[in-house]
Amino acid sequence: MRLTIFRFRAITSVASANILKFEKYASFNPSPLSLKKLLEFGRTGQKNGSSQQSYIFLQKELPVRLANIMKEINLLPENLLKMPSVQLVISWYQQSFKELIEFENKSSEDQKIIESFTSTLVNIRNRHTNVVETMAQGVLEMKEAYGIDTNSENRIQYFLDRFYMSRISIRMLINQHTLLFGKREKNNDPRHIGCIDPNCNVLAVVQDAYENARFLCEQYYLAAPDMMVKTHNNSVSECETDPIQIAYVPSHLYHMLFELFKNAMRAVTEYHSDEGPMPLIKVMIVKGQEDVTIKISDQGGGIPRSKIDLLFQYMYSTAPQPARSDIASAPLAGYGYGLPLSRLYARYFQGDILLASAEGYGTDACIYLKVLSNEANEVLPVYNKTADKVYHTDIPVNDWSSPWSTNQRSFHSYTK
């Protein structure tokens, strides 16, 4: 069997024993879980204190998820791997992988080992707290030092979607374990199973996100648009007037809503800055048989159709980039990561975020979430030959006519 040497070009090479273990774990695919499975196990764990089963699963699954995404990190452009911020992120992942595989063959019968494992998970989560900002800083460092061509940008976009989705999934598993079995961590809400609310009230999360976005908007602009909400429950098993509830992770939903409200408020406030009362932000929440849909409609001037896809690019932002020292202070806009990350949170459990805009008027943003918890399965990146090929393949030549193409050949040249 041929061994692919695991190395990071700008980091000291990993010990040979760890290379073998890394390759072993990287050869396995992650095992996606559904919200239903997470809830069922969480309820059982709360009743029986079954930290043992969680330990058995996570001591194998977390190294697999780490190893899969670490394989892809090493395929990034050489110039990006050399950036200090990227090297720092790499070192965090190496250290976390090393700490996890120390539990590889340790007994699940020893409660002290399980407690040590839980403490290790807390340390890993804390270590990775600033991964998003640090990786974003690394991309900026590369852009400033070398520039980014179209092919590199395409590969970085592909990688960041997978890298951040992997991070969401790893934090989800860690949070579930530590909230259920950690002695120092407890849920603020006793109804929650770990970080999942079995009956997440969608309207309550909408109102919470709106109020916090409004506070931030008023800090920047000294004004903010009001909100009007309508709900419609079309679920067969529920009355039309029942509150709309689903099993979901409230913090994930809040993240999406807060970002969309920030964008809507900024657009409305700037577009109507010289007028009288600002138009309302209208929210519609609908529960159907398969999907819960949350539509946020603003009259903030809209977005040209040519720029809709750009809004989900990590290296694009419609707002000026704030000072680097402000990264941790959650500015209203500027880094361009808000929408791409929000869409990942939606897609993580088979949902999505879509934008539709009427340029010159406003924008509709729709969040789609799965109604049934057994259909809300994790969407996880898997390292394989297909993924590997993306990092070594240039963007294909366009085979449709385009007015922007600079490499067109024609038989006739028409001139006046």
| 182 secondary structure, DSSP code | -
From the candidates 21, 263, 282, 287, which is the catalytic residue?
263
Q: Which residue has the tokens 């657009």?
A: 267
Asked about 232 being catalytic, the answer comes back as no
Three-class SS state of 246: strand
- Which residues, 6+ apart, have CB-to-CB distance to 176 below 8 Å? 38, 42, 54, 194, 195, 196
Which residue from 107, 114, 111, 22 is spatially nearest to 63, judged by alpha carbons?
Answer: 22
Catalytic residue (one of 262, 282, 287, 370): 262
Question: What is the C-alpha to C-alpha distance for residues 233 and 285, in angstroms, rounded to an integer?
Answer: 8
Give the active site residue among 255, 282, 287, 370. Answer: 255
* 398-407 contacts at long range (C-beta below 8 A, 24 or more positions apart): none
Nearest CA to 138 out of 311, 309, 8 is that of 8
Q: Give residues with Cβ within 8 angstroms of 399, minimum separation 6.
A: none
Residue 160 class from Cβ within 10 Å (0-12 exposed, 13-18 middle, 19+ buried)? Answer: buried
Catalytic residue flag (residue 130): no
Q: Which residues does 222 contact at the CB level (< 8 Å), separation at least 6?
A: none
Q: Residue 197: name the closest of 114, 145, 254 by CA.
A: 254
Instruction: Tell me, yes or no, if 392 is annotated catalytic.
Output: no
Q: State phi, psi for 237 to the nearest 5 degrees.
A: -85, 0
Quick check: is 255 catalytic? yes
- Which spans in 195-309 are helix H? 202-221, 250-271
Going by DSSP bridges, is the β-strand pair 291-298/281-287 parallel, antiparallel, or unpaired? antiparallel
Picking from 288, 333, 287, 341, the residue whose alpha carbon sits closest to that of residue 314 is 341
Q: How far apart are CA 339 and CA 332, in angstroms?
A: 13
Among the options 175, 259, 282, 287, which is catalytic? Answer: 259
DSSP 39-69: HHHHHHHHHH--HHHHHHHHHHHHHHHHHHH
Catalogue the active-site residues.
255, 259, 262-263
